[in-house]
Amino acid sequence: MPPGPKPPGYRAEAPPDDAERPADAPVPLTVPARDVTLVTRSEPVAVAYVGSGPPTYDAEPTALPAADPDDLGDLVADTVLDGARYGACTLRAASVRGDSARFRGEPRRDSLLTARFGSGEDALVLVAMATGARATPGAHRAAAEACEWIGRAVGRSHVRLAEDIRAARRGDLKSGLHRLTDRSLGKLRASAAEQGVEPEEYTAGLRCLLLPADPECRTRVFFGIGVGGLFRLRDGEWQDIEPRVAATTGAPVVGFGSLPHETPEGDRLTMDLGIATPPSPYEPAPAPPHDPFRFRASVARPGDTLLLCTAGLADPLRGEPQLAEHLTARWATGEPPGLAAFLADTQVRVKGYADDRTAAAVWEA
C-alpha cells in the first residue's frame, strides 16, 4: 500500500542542533517519519487517547475529594472551562483534574483565572494558571491564591500595562511584571508563615498571558515562574517558544538590549536571563531561591494559534508526537473550536501522563 498523505507540520529531516540554532529561536516539534492517519475537523471522530495504548486510569472521574462541612468553599471543581473573543483573537481556556487525582479523590492542584480589566479597545485580558506543589495538603489553595494575587496586581495596573504593550515598551513590561509576580508569590510565602508551614510546602508555579483588546495591537505577552509550556502553531507546524532561562556567557543572547533583536520569523522579543531583583517587601523573611522569571513578548500573525499550558499538557505534547499530530489536525484550520470541542482536544489522554492539565489557546483572526 503506498504511504498516506503526510500530516500538517510533518518534517522528515532532523532539526538543527541547539548549538546551530539562535538562543531563542523557536524549536519545532518534529514528527518521526512514518505513515499516520489523522482525525480532521471535517471528520469529527472522538479520540479518547493517543500513543502506544490506553492509560492505566479510568477516563472519567471515579472519586470526589473529601469535603469539610464547615469549609465547603475549599472544594475545587473537577473541570473549569472559559472563553472569549476580543480584538483580533479568540480565547479558549480549560483546567481539568488529572487521571491520578480523579482516581485517588484528590483535588485539582491546578488553578485557572481568566479576567478582563477595563472596557472597549483599552481593555486588557489576563489568563493566569498556577500549579500547587506536589504531595502537599494545601496545594490547591496555594494555586488559587497565586492566581488571585496576580489578578489583583495586574488589574490595578492594567491601564499602564495596556499602554506599555501598545507602545512595545518591552523593558518596562519585563521589569514591571517581574515585580508584580515576585510580590504575588511573596504573598504565598507570607501565608505559609501564618500557617506555620515551610514556604516550599505552600507555593505554586505561575504562568500568565496578557492579551490587549485593541484589534490593532497583536502583541501577546507571556510571563511567569515555574515549569510548563508555551507553543505556537504556525503554518501547520508546532514551535516550542518557551523562553530559556539558563545563564549564558559570551555573545549577547537574542532579546531586549542585544542584537539581533528579532527571531528569523520577525518576532521582536525579550526574555529573562535569571537576573536577580531586590527582595519583595511582602516577604516576611529571607526567601528561598526563586525559580527563574520567564518573559516573552512577541507579535502574532494572522492564522497563528498560541498555546500556554501547565506541565500536565506540556510534557505529553513534547513527549508524544501523536498528540502534537492530533492537535495540529484539529487546530491548523485557523478556525477556533467551540468550548466543548476545545475541552475534548486538550484532555486527549496519553499513557504515562496523569497530572492536571490547564491550557489557554489563542486563535488569531
pLDDT average per 10 residues of sequence, the chain (365 residues): 48 40 60 46 63 83 92 94 95 96 94 97 97 92 96 96 96 95 93 91 96 96 97 96 68 33 42 40 44 94 97 96 94 91 95 95 96
Residue 22: what pLDDT?
Answer: 53
CA atoms of 265 and 217, how far apart (whole Å): 18
Which of helix, strand or coil describes residue 66?
coil
Residue 178: what pLDDT?
Answer: 96
Stated length of the chain: 365
Amino acid identity for residue 56 in this structure = T
Residue 258: what pLDDT?
Answer: 30
Residue 45: what pLDDT?
Answer: 57
Q: DSSP letter string over 5-53?
A: PPPTT---SPPPPGGGS-TT--EE----SS------TTS-----EESSS
CA atoms of 138 and 196, how far apart (whole Å): 12
Residue 236: what pLDDT?
Answer: 93
Residue 155: what pLDDT?
Answer: 97
Which of helix, strand or coil describes residue 79?
strand
Residue 203: what pLDDT?
Answer: 93
Quote the CATH superfamily of domain 77-241+293-364.
Answer: PPM-type phosphatase domain (3.60.40.10)
Amino acid identity for residue 291 in this structure = D
Residue 291: what pLDDT?
Answer: 81
Residue 7: what pLDDT?
Answer: 47
Residue with cell 469535603: 67
**49 and 307 Cβ atoms separated by less than 8 Å:** no
Per the DSSP assignment, residues forming a β-bridge with 209 are 127, 222
Residue 56: what pLDDT?
Answer: 83
Residue 315: φ, ψ to 5°: -65, -50
CA atoms of 103 and 78, how far apart (whole Å): 12
Residue 265: what pLDDT?
Answer: 44
